[in-house]
A and B are shown apart, each in its own frame.
Chain A
Amino acid sequence: MNITVQVNGVSETRSVEPRVLLVHFLRENLGLTGTHVGCDTSQCGACTVLLDGAAVKSCSLFAVQADGRKVTTIEGLSTDGKLHAMQQAFWDQHGLQCGFCTPGMIVSACHLLERNPNPSEAEIREGLEGNLCRCTGYANIVKAVQQAARAG
């Protein structure tokens, strides 16, 4: 069936099978491979994108569920070639190693600050509980979110 999704500000119309997951739609149909797949049980959060501004796991939604809605992926966060404050903070604070969890982590963290612009350390850790990182032990991810929060 045909769906139209606004992805990173661009309206995209494609024909998809009803069973195609949103993450596969983004990666395979639109070539937006920044959104990753790390699991099959909605645990890892590598696939996190913003759907109408809220963080969702794009592996647990069908593409058709995004019809007529707005999706922001990691590729849509930076504007005019300038890194988003959260991307900058992950870079500055060494919040990534292999970088595979990173797009989902950054998108989740953006949504976290959206809801709570001044989170405590505990609130950051809790807020990122749906995103797994195997490399960093989270210490520098927490610092990155704190930096982005300070940046406002």
Chain B
Amino acid sequence: METMFGKSIKRREDPRLVTGKGNFVDDLKIPFTTHAAFVRSPHAHAKIGKIDTAAARKVPGVLAIYTGKDLVAGGVKPIPVGWLLPNIKVPAHYPLAVDKARHMGEPVAVVVAETPYAARDAAELVEVDYDVLPAVPDGADALKRGAPPVHDDAPGNVSFKWSIGDAKATDAAFAKADKVVKQSFRNHRLIPNAIEPRACLASAQPGTGDITLWVTSQNPHVHRLIMAAFVLGIPEHKMRVISPDVGGGFGSKIFIYPEECAAVWASRQLSRPVKWTADRREAFLADAHGRDHHTEAEMALAADGKILGLRVKTVANLGAYLSLFAPAVPTYLYGTLLAGAYTTPAIHCEVTGVFTHTTPVDAYRGAGRPEATYLLERLMDLSAKELGMDPVDIRRKNFIPPDKFPYQTPVALLYDSGNYAGALDKALQIFDYKAFRREQEQARKQGRYLGVGFSTYLEACGLAPSQVAGALGAQAGLYESANVRVHPTGKVSVFTGSHSHGQGHETTFAQVVADELQVPIDDVDIIHGDTGQVPFGMGSYGSRSGPVGAAAIYMSTQKIKEKAKKIAAHLLEANEKDVTHEGGKFFVKGSPDRSKSFFDVSLMAYLAHNLPKGLEPGLEALSFFDPGNFVFPFGTHICVVEVERDTGYVHLRRYVAVDDLGRVINPMIVDGMVHGGIAQGVSQALWEHAEYDENGQLITGSMMNYALPKADELIPIELARTETPTPVNPLGVKGAGETGTIASTAAVANAVMDALSPFGIKHIDMPLTPGRIWEALKGKGA
């Protein structure tokens, strides 16, 4: 039977998606559905006075209007935080604001009506008495004395102070440095913008008390657990959460949001289904944002370019409330990554998590790791410049050598496997560096400014060993479950706790199962995103579906094979040890003509009248895979840009990416994820920027002024891979979903700075828009 692992099988989910037969939340229709619309604060900070709903209630079709106070009176509890740090301040976050609105777009009331149009009309007529208060949208400003307080119970607007690494050793490293390279970095705020807006449909059954919630979720079991146990007090077994086709997430659909809590609550009040679909404006205001750091970083180096130490101080803007994983993102997913691919012996990183009057910030594709990679890879280039070294040479000088794995960094992580120079070499085979430097020289003479940027990144994904996560503050372990059920006819249903919202699990997971059970891939169905079918699941984020989710499936297939072999041996009247499983058949080694098919064995497992003594009927296995470590993909990205001197416009000229993702189940799908990831990272470097004015008004609140990348702004990407399998999971796979985003931002920024180096420009904060570059050039008299 043909091996599926490693093949670019065409996606099995596509026929429905290319014909418009997808099943997204907003596509669902159930009878008697009502529609919710939210009244949102137009102010960043305001006391909520009287809420007058009289006019709104007169709109035909309006069924109910609920405010924050109604929900609290109805027993609704604040939305909890899933990752805690020592001494962290966790102010209450109610689904609807109760006394104060703390960011523009915070929901204040919800209207439920017979039609979406009526709900929206009425929402506009709800009159809220706001007493507008001063706001602080910027993280650094929020720490200043006299800054407007976001929460009474978080003095100085500080949620937490966190640090990692050895401060003393780092001081010592700096004391003996030949060179110290210092730079402040702004890693600006982004808005995820999955093209499918968030949506939910809650349907309470008054007779049984059962409730079903369809929601755009990357982790439906977590949604159920948190909503049932913590927010709404619904018995968990009475609640079913279904996350059908989901149109992209990038992190933004991990979290438990106010809107779905309010919808479930309203559905129970009204005994009618309640549906809500965000419009794009709401997505901008109410989906968790990403990034938003102010950082001071310095690197201590020896004269030969060897890094001696790294010191990082970051202020992370968390927004107005702590979103579900917010505390983990600028800490354990950031500070721990600061060694990168390098042997830096001493690192110290301090992070202050700050409340501001802005939309909450949480994990967005890469989550902490792009921020770490950006500053580290920028510092490598700045250091090379200072020391008069080539950016490639300084990286080589500091790479962890391939024979040093497992490698313990000074910031907690133990790297599994890697060959960083190998990926760099491969990238340089594709990209003729010497030829480029000659071309660059020539071009400069003609007044054309080309630049090249490298990013020899490393990331940690496959979240995560439960013990480790728990010790670091996670309120839950991060294993994954898989139930593989072989039916009497040998067809297979796989119930996975991972969730696919574009990653193609229905294809890749089936490839693993088809290989292991030696059945045609068409006989394998992958079922995900339904708490009513899947035993449990932690969901998909942190590039964990392959290294954790698929690994759990693999474990279940091994259990099934073992039992199937027992049954086959019994049917063949042979010793189990002599039976092999090849070409989809079980037979005694050496006599393949007397065989039992997978069908025969599966059928007998259920007919059960001729099973080995003591063997239970059935052929099904449940596994929970809890990895022993993270996995650590790495690689080299090279970007070439040309900067127009007169306009500051950056043209992408070439992009080469060599990634090492361990073993790859489906190269086509992995390539696709890398493409998309790179587009998002490039876009942060050059275009995207969530900007607030000083009053906390989001001024890039629509697709008209928030620059999402378009087809004509991006270029083809040259991809290649090296393959260093990981010992952390039985499949040898590392994660693939985030590497592109983690690596690319730094590569692009480095390329732009290289292009601008003739003007003496060393650093410009992102996004590197024509305006910013033009200003910098003007500043240099160019």
Contact = CB atoms under 8 A, between A and B. Distances in A.
Given A31-B29, A136-B676, A138-B714, A40 B250 contact: no
A66 B761 CA distance: 55
Contact of B711 (A27, A73, A138): A138
Nearest to B704: A41
Q: Secondary structure of the B side of the interface?
A: loop
Given A43-B703, A134-B195, A97 B20 contact: no
Given A39-B280, A92-B10, A98 B675 contact: no
Interface stretch (B286-294, B496-504, B558-566, B602-610): B496-504
A61 interface: no
Given A33-B27, A137-B678, A38 B197 contact: yes
Contacts of B672: 94, 97, 135-136, 140
Centre residue among A41, A77, A142 by max chain B CB count within 10 A: A41
Given A91-B10, A135-B248, A124 B711 contact: yes
Given A122-B712, A132-B708, A137-B678, A98 B246 contact: yes
B195 A132 contact: yes
Contacts of B675: 136-140
B20 A74 contact: yes
Centre residue among A17, A31, A94 by max chain B CB count within 10 A: A94
Interface stretch (B11-19, B302-310, B442-450, B460-468): B11-19
B14 A99 contact: yes
A99 B245 contact: yes
B21 interface: yes
A34 B21 contact: yes
B387 interface: no
Centre residue among B195, B669, B709, B716 by max chain A CB count within 10 A: B195
Contacts of A106: 18
Q: Secondary structure of the A side of the interface?
A: loop
Given A38-B280, A137-B676, A137-B679, A100 B196 contact: yes
B616 interface: no
Contact of A36 (B14, B24, B740): B24
B196 A36 contact: yes
A40 B20 contact: no
A90 B195 CA distance: 18
B469 interface: no
B281 interface: yes
Interface residues of A, number: 57
B710 A132 contact: yes
A86 to B, nearest CB: 8
Interface in B182-217: 193-197
B679 A100 contact: no
A62 to B, nearest CB: 13
A35 B570 CA distance: 55
Contacts of B504: 97
Contact of B22 (A34, A40, A124, A134): A34
Contact of A94 (B246, B669, B710): B669
A102 interface: yes
Contacts of B669: 94
A139 B716 contact: yes
A97 B503 contact: yes
Interface in A105-149: 106, 121-122, 124-126, 128-129, 131-142
A78 interface: yes
B751 interface: no
A132 B703 contact: yes
B14 A91 contact: yes
A98 B245 CA distance: 8
Contacts of B502: 97-99, 135
B117 interface: yes
Contacts of A35: 20
B72 interface: no
Contact of A134 (B21, B248, B704): B248
A33 B26 CA distance: 8
Centre residue among B10, B17, B280 by max chain A CB count within 10 A: B17
B529 interface: no
Contacts of B29: 31
Contact of B676 (A34, A43, A46, A97): A97
Contacts of A44: 195, 280, 703
Nearest to B21: A34
B99 interface: no
A19 interface: yes
B517 interface: no
B10 A134 contact: no
A98 B710 CA distance: 17
Interface string A60-102: 0000000000000111011000010001001110101111111
Interface in B687-707: 702-704
Contacts of A19: 117
B131 interface: no
A99 B708 contact: no
Nearest to A126: B712
B20 A75 contact: yes
Nearest to B708: A132
A32 interface: yes
A95 B158 CA distance: 45
A139 B717 contact: yes
A91 B717 contact: no
Contacts of A22: none
Contacts of A102: 17-18
B668 interface: yes
Nearest to A89: B18
A99 B711 contact: no
A31 B114 CA distance: 18
A32 to B, nearest CB: 7
B194 A98 contact: yes
B279 interface: yes
Given A94-B672, A96-B14, A46 B22 contact: no
Nearest to A99: B17
A103 B20 contact: yes
Given A43-B703, A140-B675, A90 B18 contact: yes
A37 interface: yes
A73 to B, nearest CB: 7
Nearest to B503: A97
Contacts of B13: 99
A99 B22 contact: yes
Contacts of B196: 36, 38, 98, 100
A9 to B, nearest CB: 15
B673 interface: yes
Interface string A4-36: 000000000000010110000001000111111
Contact of A40 (B194, B279, B678): B279
B247 interface: yes
B195 A98 contact: yes
Contacts of A139: 675, 714, 716-717
16 contacts: A27-B27, A31-B29, A33-B20, A35-B20, A41-B704, A75-B19, A91-B11, A91-B18, A98-B501, A134-B193, A134-B194, A135-B195, A137-B675, A138-B709, A138-B710, A142-B716
Given A40-B279, A77-B19, 10 more contacts: A32-B20, A33-B20, A34-B19, A44-B280, A90-B14, A100-B196, A126-B712, A134-B248, A137-B677, A142-B711
Nearest 3 interchain pairs by C-beta: A34-B20, A100-B247, A99-B17
